[in-house]
Structure 1
Amino acid sequence: MQDESSPPVSLETSEPTLALSLHPALAGKVNFATAQNGVAVVKRLAIENTETEAVRDVRLTLFASPAILREKTWVIDSIAPGVTLQLSDLETPLDTALLGGLDEAEIGQLQFRLSAQGLEDVTSTHRIEMLARDEWGGLAEMDNILAAFISPNQPAVARILKEAGRLLEAAGHSGAIDGYQGGDPHRVWMLAGAIWSAATGLGLTYAVPPASFERVGQKIRDPERIVSEGLATCLDSTLLIAAAYEAAGLNTAVLFSHGHAWVGVWLVKKDFGRLVEPDVVAVRKATVAREFVPLETTLLTRRPAVGFEEAIAAGRDRLSEARETEFIQVVDINRARAARIRPLASHRTPDSPAHEDIAASPAALPRPLDLGLLPGELVEEAPTTAMGRIERWQRKLLDLSLANRLLNFRDTRGAVPMICPDISATEDRLANGEVFRLLALKDENAISGRDIPADEARQIERDLALDALTRGQIAVPLTARDMAARLTELYRKARSDMAEGGTNTLFLAVGFLRWKRSEGDTRSYRAPLLLLPVKLERRSAQSEYRLSQLEDEVRINSTLLEMLKRDFELRIPDLEGDLPRDESGLDIPRIMEILRQRVRDVAGFEVVEECALSMLISTQK
């Protein structure tokens, strides 16, 4: 979603010594879906004092006409000369009743009134387009809420699934609409094919979409309207099939190229790992691996009915190298749901009897998927034992100053923070040899630009991180570019240390003690609790990094234990010998609980369940 930055508005006196400029970045379009999903109208808002004296008693008021949002006022005591003040508290909830009642787009206005002591009031007006309830605003403004227009719970979708079950049973297969429950991609292939065949029986007619719909948007027919009218644009048919697949428990994505949209479905329980995927190569790799199948949905309108495999061939062709310049992006519906982009409520009262029959002859079911075409997951080689001597490692732990990262861990470029909602399970999986990929959470675009409370934003990030763990990923609260740069630095340094000294220096810090040197100290520090020896690997310079655990013992941060004894007369004997274990390995919850109990009465001390990747032995910063 892009911001619409408005030109600055200046507020001046007749004397050129005092002046204010307003710098707003506003949404250009709003609709019922943006209101329902908390998308922000005011993206950024700043007031700049461009002159040499402070300006006092500044008031900025926002009005909307029509009143799609409540009047809001910001009060600032003073703005120093030369300062640009970025305003916080930009929440401006939209009126869902007003927007939900629009059946055609209207043009509204957002008006700012800026005033200050000794200055005349100045107003500025900004155009905003209020879209109809069933109108999507295009990729430029509303890519992250496309999923709101996918309606898996409408009766028309249920009828398609019922017909799909009938077709499966007629061909000797189970008629259950069971998604990924069986864990068999061949079963998913037949289920997805049956849903496609059932949809071809609707007898739809192609409707030409508006020019540049992918950029500027269009009105969208929901499943009930598609079935009743028998008409569908490429985007209509795409969202219809996406709704049916989602209702069947399958993960879907909507693909866009210039002037076109089509759908994709995963044969395995995966997704693209981000809400918007702009890389056609990533999509093509998933397609070549037969994990993801793209479908040309306009073929639903062909007579005679076009089969599932032919639709896939046409969908793949749009991803080919010859046509990749046409490709724009994929919107991953599973990631959108994880970010709580909800389907629009229908609010429709049924005015006609339910349709009993599919309108036309459906296409035949696809042939069973060839076993040779679906490769299994790559089997990673078991990690090798790290070389190095424990005595040398222990000698390096004797630095008890704040220069030691084992006592004063900082989020610098030499560290990669991670979000692990289930630290214990993650450690167990690493100990069992599982290899994790890393997800750049900031590129998910799940929270930015949305008016949602901070606690809900944190919960969304946690939900995304938990979902990532189920797919073998660990979430990193960075952009992909920043994450890649930090990982590359760690990767090179770890290889150099191993080559030069035969010692692994790369560790995953699991759990931290947040501590202060004294009760009145205003600054707190973080010390890792457990050190998991890990390694980063990649297949080539352009490949993503993968994280695995070395076959070396997980260590308690003995530097921390020594510092607690020396500086705070606090001994933790339960953690000085063999660490508590459970049936899966280390008992992480028990270890953290032991430390919590020991530091409970120490002012400024707190155990936090956080993880980070860093050089924790040879790098002393």
Structure 2
Amino acid sequence: MEWSEKTETVPAEEENTAVVNTAESGLQLTCSVDDMLTYANIHNGAHIVRDICLKNVSETDLDHLLIRISSSNELTEEFKLGIEKIKAGEELHFKNLNVPVNAEYLAALTERSSFRLKVGIYSGDHLLVSETTNVTALAFDQWPGLQYTPELLAAFAMPNHPVVTGMIQLAAGYLEKWTGDPSLAGYQFEDPNRVKSMAASAYAAIQQKNITYAEPPSSFETFGQRVRLADAVLDQHLGTCLDMTLLYVACLEAMGLNPIMVMMKGHIFAGVWLIDGSFSDMIMDDPSQLEKRMSRGIHEMVVVECTAMCAGKSTSFDEAVALAEHNVSDYAVLLS
């Protein structure tokens, strides 16, 4: 799954980088540690410790050192790594260390929690130099915004969730009514119109649930927000533009289609490839590339305003497409 990002350039990830004063032993320690941690990060193989740089600024070789990484709570298990030798003047880097993270602890978090992560360099039991970083662990359903690994927003769609299976079964009923064939066969028909009908059936299935639109907090794309996962949206009958978009793309992906998410200032909506295609990058920040594939002559993609599915609007699928197309063509607000 891909999504089209918006304007301002933001770092893909925020890290704490701290330089410790040189210890008496002549060791200098620099650590790069993510200061924000989510279950989605860990589930997708992210490393909390990006880099440990150890430099021997003394004139003496140092032997048999030990890196020890520990946290102030049960979030991580103690990590140890031996260093046989660091020569005088030598600089060593230890990148993307596999520090064990308690995924069950993260998944159970219902509110953000802060803890301290300590990196220490030891000779035997003697601590030579250390650095402690403050890290925030977010609730399992909290998206931190564009400042932290924005591509992991897709992890909240959850196309394999049982409630999504129920939704696409409902969509198959609409598809059979319209076309005589309920098959959710992805791109096997090699027919863009069939794919568009599938996208419309998912839209109709969600619209049938009469979900009430909820206003997202201000600047949600910068500072993030709590996400209602698919089961919560359908149980509470309440959803923001982000919640509705994630539910919709989950249904599309469960059908075997390639959805996208399009983010603009203060808003997000969805789209789907009408052919079995994708962008070359996970995050596409050129709105013209999106508009090109939507043009009548090419017709490789369609975009959909997901809040149009909410209760009280009675907006047709084609009308929702027109609303989203208008947003895409408005370069004054699209971020690139």
Normalising by structure 2, report the TM-score.
0.87
Matched residues in 2 for 1:174 and 1:88: separation?
52
Give 1:47's match in structure 2, choosing from 47, 50, 54. Answer: 54
Q: Partner of 1:123 in structure 2?
A: 130
- Consecutive unaligned residues in structure 2, runs of 5 or more: 1-11
Residues 1:276 and 2:283 are matched in the alignment: yes
Q: Deviations 1:324-348 (Å, cap 9, x if unpaired)?
A: 5x325xxxxxxxxxxxxxxxxxxxx
Find the partner of 1:198 among 193, 202, 205: 205
Give the 3 Å change call, closer, same or farther, for CA 277–225 of structure 1 in structure 2: same
- One-letter code of the match for 1:319? V
Q: Does structure 1 retain, via aligned residues, the 8 Å contact 2:308–2:315?
A: yes
* Mapping 1:208-287, distance limit 5 Å: 208-287=215-294
Which of 7, 15, 18 is 2:18 aligned to? 7
Structure 1: distance between partners of 2:303 and 2:100 = 37
TM-superposed deviation, 1:97: 1.6
1:135 maps to 2:142: yes
> 2:31 is matched with which residue?
24
Segments of structure 1 that go 5 or more residues without pairing to the other structure are: 329-621
For residues 45 and 317 of structure 1, do their structure 2 counterparts lie closer, same or farther at Cα, with a shift above 3 Å needed?
farther
* Residue aligned with 2:98, SS: coil
The one-character-per-residue Cα deviations of 1:80-119 (angstroms, maximum 9, x if unpaired) are 34332112571113111211211111111111223459x8
1:327 aligns with 335
Shift of 1:40: 0.7
Is 1:58 aligned to 2:69, yes or no? no
- Bigger Rg, which one: 1
* C-alpha contact (below 8 Å) 1:10/1:19 kept by paired residues: no
Separation (CA, whole Å) in 1 of partners of 2:96 and 2:147: 25
Return the alpha-carbon distance in structure 1 between the equivalents of residues 86 and 14 of structure 2: 26
2:5 paired residue number:
none
Q: 1:266 to 1:5 in 2, by over 3 A?
A: same
- Correspondent of 1:83 among 77, 86, 90: 90
Number of aligned positions between the proteins: 323
Matched residue type, 1:133: F
- Equivalent residues of 1:180, 1:268 under 8 A apart: yes
In the alignment, the residues of structure 2 paired with residue 267 and residue 133 of structure 1 have an alpha-carbon distance, to the nearest angstrom, of: 33
Quick one: which of 292, 313, 327 aligns to 1:318?
Answer: 327
Contact preservation (8 Å) 2:120, 2:127: no
How far apart in 1 are the matches of 2:214 and 2:98?
39
SS at match of 1:197: helix
Relative to structure 1, the CA distance from residue 25 to residue 192 in structure 2 (aligned partners, 3 Å threshold; closer, same or farther) is same
Contact (CA 8 Å) 1:35, 1:93: kept in 2 or not? no
Rounded to whole Å, the distance in 1 between the matches of 2:20 and 2:275 is 53
Please tell me whether the aligned partners of residues 79 and 100 of structure 2 are also in contact (alpha carbons under 8 angstroms).
Answer: no
Equivalence for 2:301: 292
Q: Following the alignment from structure 2 to structure 1, what is the Cα–Cα distance between the partners of residues 325 and 57? A: 55
Greater strand percent: which structure? 2
* Structure 1 residues 304 and 147: alpha-carbon distance in aligned structure 2, compared to 1, 3 A threshold: closer
Aligned twin of 2:183: 176
SS, match of residue 211 in structure 1: coil
Identity, % of aligned pairs? 29
1:584-617 deviation per Cα after TM superposition (whole angstroms, max 9, x unaligned)? xxxxxxxxxxxxxxxxxxxxxxxxxxxxxxxxxx
Q: Which has the higher contact order (CA 8 A, sep 6+)?
A: 2
- The match for 1:451 is none
Match of 1:432 in 2: none
Q: CA deviation at 1:291?
A: 0.8
Deviation for aligned residue 1:149: 1.3
